[in-house]
C-alpha cells in the first residue's frame, strides 16, 4: 500500500542498514494480505521515515521533491545517498551537502560536542592545512606523563611515580639540549 | 612495478613485529587519508582515471627519501592471501579484498610503512610505530605527504582535508593504540578503569573491530573525531589515556606478582591452563591461541613462566594468524583442517624450552 506492490510472491530482501553503517534499531514487519515483508532499519533511516509517515501523501511528495532537488552536479551523489551513509563521490559534495553532512556527522557522534554548540556555520576544521610545515614538539608527551604522574602520586604509588619522573626528566633534558626540528642532525653527531 | 611472489621476504616474517619486546603498549598505527584535487573520489572514478592517479602518485612515493626501497604491489596482481597478510601485518581496520584494477599498495623495507592507493581514498598513508613515538610517526607521515610535489590535495576550509567518508574528513588522521591489558581484564577492572578516564574523543574496540570481543586481551584505543580537533590534540589525548591505562595495568600486575588478592590463584590457574593448551593441543583456532598467548605473556611478565622472551611471544601473537601462518608454510598447500594442526605445531616449536613455574 505504501510504495511497493506486493503482487510478487517472493518477499523482498530485507533492507539492511549495514548499508549505512548504522546499527539496526527497528525491524519493520509489514503484512499485506498473505505477503509479509521485513525490513531492518537504523533509528534515523530515511526509509523508516518513509514507512512511518509515508502514508501521508503530502509529506511523501514534499519529501521526495526536496530529496530530488539536492544532487551533486559533479558526481551525481544524492542527498539520500548521503543520509544513508554512502561514500561521497567528490570534493564538490562537501559544498553541496554541507549542512546535511554536519547533521549526519552529529547524529553519528563524529563531531566534538563543543563544535556543535559553538560554530555551526564557520570552519570546523582547525588542524593543519595543505603544505603547512609543522613543528610538533614534545609537549604532548610531557603533558601525558605529567598527568599520569599526578595520578600515581595521588594513589601513593611511589614506585611507578619514580619511573614516570625519570621519563619526564629525560624528555625535558632532551628538549633543552636541541630543538626538535634539528633532532635528526644532532642525533647523528651524538 | 614488479609482482611479488607469495613467499616474498619483504612480507614474511617482516619487521617491526620480529623484534617487539613491548609488554603493554604493543604498537600504534597512524593513518592519513588524502584525496587529490580535481578528481572524483575512487568510488566514482573510472578505471582509467584511477590508473592515471596511480601513475602520478607511485613514482613520487618511490622517490621519497622517507621510504626505504619502496615497492609497489598492484591490487589485481596481489593474491587474496597476500592482501590478508597486509591487513594482518598493518593491523588494518579496513579489509583489502575488494581492491581491484587501478588500486595499489606501496610498502617499504622497514615493514612499517603502507600506502594504499585508490581504495577508499586516493591515498592513505599509514605507519606502524612500536616505540610509543606518536609524534615522530605523525611527523614522518606528513613528510611523505609533503614530498608528493605538484600534488594538490582536496581541501575545504570548513571540512579540512576531504575524504570519501565524511567521518574521516578534517585532519584525516586516525590513530590506533594497541594495549595489552590482561591483568585489568582478568581481574574485572577494565570497565572501571576505562570509565574513570572517560574521554568522549576516544573509543575502544578489539583487534577485529568488535568492542565486545577483546581478542588476545588487546584493547585498541582510537580517536573518534578527525574533524574539529587539531592533530596535536588527537595525539595528546590518546597518549594521555594510554599512559593512564598502562599505570592501571602495571599496578594490578605488581599486586598479582606480590601474591596479593583473592584472584591470584584464579589467574595462576588461567595462565597454567593456557600453557597447557598451547603446549599440548593437536589443533587450535587462532582466537583460542591468541587468548592463551596473552595469558602466557602475562605469566612471563609476572615471572610465573620462564624459558621464553617477550619478543618471542609477541612474534607468536602475530605469526599464528592465518595469512602469516600460511606464509610460514608457504611451500605446501594447506587445507583449513591441516591449518589448525600446523598452527598447533608451530606453537609447540616456538615455545620449546618454556616452563611453568607456578
DSSP string, A97-112: THHHHHHHHHHTT-S-
Set of cell numbers at residue B12: 614474511
**Interchain CB distance below 8 Å, B159 and A101:** yes
Task: Identify all chain A residues contacting B156, using CB atoms and an 8 Å cutoff.
Answer: 91, 94-95, 125
Q: Are A152 and A164 in contact (CB under 8 A)?
A: yes
Partner residue facing A144 (CB), from B37, B41, B239: B239
Of A181, A145, A182, the C-alpha closest to A163 is A145
Using pLDDT thresholds of 50, 70 and 90, give the confidence band for residue A25: confident
CA distances from A81 to A12, A70, A89, A97, A176 (A): 21, 10, 10, 11, 53
Q: Which residues in chain A are contacts of B142 at CB distance < 8 A?
A: 128, 134
Q: Which among B162, B243, B251 is the nearest to A94, CB-wise?
A: B162
Task: Using the predicted structure, report yes or no on whether residue A13 has a pLDDT greater than 50.
Answer: no
Q: Does B93 touch chain A (CB under 8 A)?
A: no
Task: Answer yes or no: are the C-beta atoms of B296 and B274 closer than 8 Å.
Answer: yes
Q: For the whole model, what pTM was predicted? A: 0.82
Q: Which element (helix H / strand E) includes A49?
A: helix A46-53
B178 closest CA partner among B212, B209, B142, B146? B209
CA distance B296 to B313: 8
pLDDT of residue B8: 52
Kindly give the residue spans of alpha helices, DSSP state H, lying in chain B.
47-63, 80-89, 134-147, 182-186, 190-196, 231-257, 264-280, 286-301, 310-319, 322-328, 336-350
Which residues lie closer than 8 Å to B357 by C-beta, 6 or more apart? B303, B304, B305, B306
Please report the sign of the dihedral spanned by the C-alpha atoms of residue A104, residue A109, residue A114, residue A115: negative
Query: How far apart are the C-alpha atoms of B89 and B157, rounded to whole Å?
Result: 35
B337 alpha carbon, distance to own chain's centre = 26
In this predicted complex, what is the ipTM? Answer: 0.86
Taking the Cβ of residue B119 and every Cβ of chain A, the question of whether any pair is shorter than 8 Å is answered with no
Q: In B, which residues are within 8 Å of A91 by CB distance? A: 35, 37, 41, 154, 156, 162
Q: What is the enclosing helix (H) or strand (E) of A116? A: helix A113-118
Nearest residue on chain A to B233, alpha-carbon basis: A140
* pLDDT surpasses 60 at A186: no
Would you place residue A117 in the very low, low, confident or very high pLDDT band (cuts 50, 70, 90)? low
Cβ-based contacts under 8 A for chains A and B: 154
Would you tell me the crossing angle of helices B264-280 and B286-301 to the nearest 10 degrees? 130
Measured distance CA(A77)–CA(A97) in Å, rounded: 10
Contacts of B155 in chain A (CB under 8 A): 129-130
Q: What does the radius of gyration of chain B's CA atoms come to, in whole angstroms?
A: 21
Q: How confident is the model at residue A5 (pLDDT cuts 50, 70, 90)?
A: very low
- The CA distance from B243 to B179, in Å, is 10
Q: Which of A18, A144, A151 should one mutate to test binding to chain B, selecting the residue with the greatest count of B CBs within 10 A?
A: A144
**Between residues A190 and A39, the one the model is more confident about:** A39
The pLDDT value recorded for residue A182 is 38
Q: Is A20 on the interface with B (CB under 8 A)?
A: no
State the pLDDT at residue A96.
93
Query: Which of A124, A129, A145 minimises the CB distance to B155?
Result: A129
Tracing cell 588527537 back to the chain, one arrives at: B234
Contacts of B139 in chain A (CB under 8 A): 134, 136
User: Is the C-alpha dihedral spanning A71, A105, B172, B30 positive or negative?
Assistant: negative
pLDDT number for residue B140: 93
Among the partner residues A75, A105, A126, nearest to B40 by beta-carbon distance:
A75
Nearest CA in chain A to B147: A131
Q: Which residues of B touch A170 (CB under 8 A)?
A: none
Distinct helix (H) and strand (E) counts, chain A: 9, 2
H/E run at residue A57: helix A57-69
Chain B residues with CB under 8 Å of A168 CB are: none
Nearest CA in chain B to A115: B228
- The beta-carbon neighbor of B230 closest among A127, A143, A144 is A127
- Could you please report the per-residue DSSP string of B33-98? EE-BTTS--GGGS-HHHHHHHHHHHHHHHHH-TTSSS-EEEEGGGS-HHHHHHHHHHTT-SS--TT
Q: pLDDT over 70 for what percent of chain A?
A: 58
Q: Which residue of A has its CA nearest to B39?
A: A90
- Chain A residue closest in CA terms to B133: A141
Q: How far apart are CA B176 and CA B180, in angstroms?
A: 13
pLDDT for B307 equals 97
- Tens digits of residue pLDDT in A52-91: 665 444 444 444 445 456 899 999 999 988 988 889 999 9
Burial profile B237-276: b = 16 or more Cβ within 10 angstroms, e = fewer: bbbbbbbbbbbbbbbbbeebeeeeeebbeebbebbbebbe
- Taking only residues 60 to 79 of chain A, the set having a beta carbon closer than 8 angstroms to any beta carbon of chain B reads 74-77
Residue B124: name the closest of B57, B51, B204 by CA.
B57
N-term to C-term CA, chain B: 54
Residues of B in Cβ contact (< 8 Å) with A104: 166
- Please answer whether residues B161 and B172 qualify as being in contact, where contact means their C-beta atoms are separated by less than 8 angstroms: yes
Cβ of residue B308 closer than 8 Å to a chain A Cβ: no
Burial class (CB within 10 angstroms; exposed 0-12, middle 13-18, buried 19+) of A158: exposed
Per-residue pLDDT of chain B (358 residues; tens, 9 = 90+): 333 444 455 567 677 888 899 999 999 999 999 999 999 999 999 999 999 999 999 999 999 999 999 999 999 998 888 899 999 999 998 889 888 899 999 999 899 999 999 999 999 999 999 998 898 899 999 999 998 878 899 999 999 999 999 999 999 999 999 999 999 999 999 999 999 998 999 999 999 888 999 999 999 999 999 999 999 899 989 998 999 899 899 999 999 999 999 999 999 999 999 999 999 999 999 999 999 999 999 999 999 999 999 999 999 998 999 999 988 887 567 887 799 999 999 999 999 999 999 8
At B23, list the grid cell: 609488554
Å from A5 to nearest chain B CA? 32
Among residues 42-61 of chain B, which lie with CB inside 8 Å of chain A? 43-44
What pLDDT is attached to residue B194?
Answer: 94
Query: Measured between beta carbons, which residues in chain B are less than 8 angstroms from residue A156?
Result: none
Helix B310-319 with B286-301: angle, nearest 10 deg: 170
Amino acid at each position: 500500500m505504501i510504495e511497493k506492490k506486493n503482487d510478487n510472491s517472493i518477499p523482498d530482501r530485507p533492507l539492511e542498514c549495514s548499508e549505512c553503517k548504522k546499527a539496526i534499531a527497528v525491524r519493520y514487519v509489514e503484512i499485506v494480505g498473505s505477503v509479509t515483508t521485513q525490513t531492518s532499519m537504523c533509528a534515523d533511516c530515511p526509509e523508516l521515515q518513509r514507512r512511518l509517515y509515508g502514508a501521508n501523501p503530502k509529506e511523501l511528495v514534499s519529501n521526495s521533491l526536496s530529496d530530488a532537488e539536492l544532487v551533486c552536479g559533479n558526481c551525481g551523489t544524492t542527498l539520500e545517498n548521503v543520509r544513508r551513509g554512502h561514500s561521497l563521490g567528490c570534493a564538490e559534495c562537501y559544498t553541496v551537502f554541507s549542512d546535511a553532512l554536519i547533521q549526519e556527522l552529529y547524529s553519528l557522534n563524529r563531531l566534538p560536542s563543543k563544535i556543535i554548540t559553538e560554530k555551526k556555520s564557520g570552519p570546523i576544521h582547525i588542524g593543519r592545512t595543505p603544505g603547512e610545515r609543522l613543528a610538533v614538539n614534545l609537549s604532548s608527551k610531557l603533558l601525558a606523563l605529567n598527568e599520569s604522574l599526578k595520578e600515581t602520586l595521588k594513589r601513593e604509588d611511589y614506585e611507578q611515580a619514580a619511573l614516570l619522573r625519570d621519563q619526564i626528566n629525560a624528555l625535558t633534558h632532551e628538549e633543552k639540549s636541541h630543538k626538535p626540528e634539528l633532532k635528526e642532525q644532532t642525533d647523528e653527531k651524538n | 612495478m614488479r609482482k611479488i611472489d607469495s613467499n616474498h621476504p619483504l612480507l614474511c616474517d617482516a619487521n617491526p613485529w620480529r623484534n617487539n619486546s613491548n609488554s603493554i603498549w604493543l604498537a600504534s598505527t597512524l593513518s592519513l587519508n588524502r584525496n587529490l584535487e580535481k578528481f572524483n573520489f575512487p568510488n566514482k572514478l573510472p578505471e582509467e582515471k584511477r590508473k592515471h592517479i596511480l601513475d602520478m602518485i607511485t613514482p613520487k612515493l618511490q622517490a621519497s627519501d622517507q621510504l626505504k626501497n619502496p615497492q609497489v604491489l598492484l591490487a589485481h596482481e596481489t593474491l587474496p592471501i597476500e592482501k590478508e597478510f597486509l591487513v594482518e601485518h598493518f593491523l588494518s581496520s579496513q579489509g583489502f579484498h575488494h581492491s581491484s584494477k587501478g588500486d595499489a599498495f606501496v610498502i617499504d623495507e622497514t615493514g612499517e610503512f603502507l600506502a594504499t592507493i585508490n581504495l577508499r581514498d586516493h591515498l592513505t598513508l599509514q605507519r606502524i610505530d612500536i616505540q610509543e613515538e606518536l609524534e615522530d610517526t605523525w611527523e614522518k607521515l606528513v613528510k611523505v605527504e609533503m614530498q608528493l610535489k605538484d600534488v594538490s590535495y582536496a581541501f575545504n576550509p570548513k571540512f579540512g582535508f576531504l575524504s570519501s567518508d565524511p567521518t574521516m574528513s578534517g585532519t584525516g588522521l586516525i590513530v590506533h593504540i594497541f594495549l595489552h591489558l590482561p591483568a585489568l581484564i582478568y581481574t574485572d577492572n577494565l570497565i572501571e578503569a576505562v570509565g574513570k578516564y572517560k574521554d568522549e574523543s576516544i573509543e575502544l574496540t578489539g583487534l577485529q573491530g568488535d568492542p565486545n570481543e577483546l581478542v588476545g586481551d588487546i584493547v585498541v584505543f582510537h580517536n573518534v573525531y578527525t574533524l574539529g580537533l587539531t592533530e596535536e590534540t588527537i595525539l595528546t589525548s590518546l597518549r594521555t589515556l594510554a599512559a593512564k591505562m598502562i599505570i592501571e595495568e602495571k599496578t594490578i600486575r605488581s599486586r598479582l606478582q606480590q601474591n596479593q588478592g583473592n584472584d591470584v590463584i584464579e589467574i595462576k590457574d588461567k595462565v597454567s591452563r593456557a600453557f597447557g593448551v598451547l603446549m599440548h593441543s593437536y589443533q587450535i583456532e587462532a582466537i583460542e591461541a591468541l587468548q592463551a598467548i596473552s595469558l602466557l605473556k602475562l605469566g612471563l611478565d609476572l615471572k610465573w613462566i620462564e624459558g621464553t622472551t617477550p619478543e618471542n611471544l609477541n612474534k607468536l601473537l602475530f605469526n599464528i594468524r592465518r595469512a602469516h601462518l600460511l606464509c610460514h608454510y608457504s611451500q605446501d598447500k594447506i587445507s583449513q583442517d591441516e591449518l589448525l594442526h600446523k598452527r598447533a605445531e608451530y606453537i609447540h616449536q616456538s615455545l620449546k624450552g618454556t616452563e611453568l613455574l607456578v
